[in-house]
Chains A and B, each alone.
Chain A
Amino acid sequence: MKVKYFAWVRERIGKAEETVEPPAGVRTIEDLIAWLSQQGETYAHAFERPKVIRAAIDHAHVRPDTAIAGAREIAFFPPMTGG
Chain B
Amino acid sequence: MTAIVTIRIQEQDFDTAREIAALSHGRTDIGAVVSFSGICRGNDSGEEIAALTLEHYPGMAEAEIMRRAEQAMARWPLSGLTVIHRHGRITPGQNIVLVVTASSHRQAAFEAAEFLMDYLKTSAPFWKREESAGGESWVEARAHDDEAAARWTRS
Binding site for B on A (CB under 8 A): 4, 6-8, 56, 59-61, 75, 77-83
Contact = CB atoms under 8 A, between A and B. Distances in A.
Specify the main secondary structure of chain B where it touches its partner: mixed
Contacts of B117: 83
Interface residues of B, number: 29
A7 B60 contact: no
Contacts, number: 72
B122 A80 contact: yes
Contacts of B67: 60
Interface in B112-128: 117, 120-128
21 contacts: A4-B57, A6-B57, A7-B127, A56-B60, A59-B59, A59-B60, A59-B63, A61-B123, A75-B125, A77-B125, A77-B127, A79-B122, A80-B124, A80-B125, A80-B127, A80-B141, A81-B127, A82-B54, A82-B85, A82-B124, A83-B38
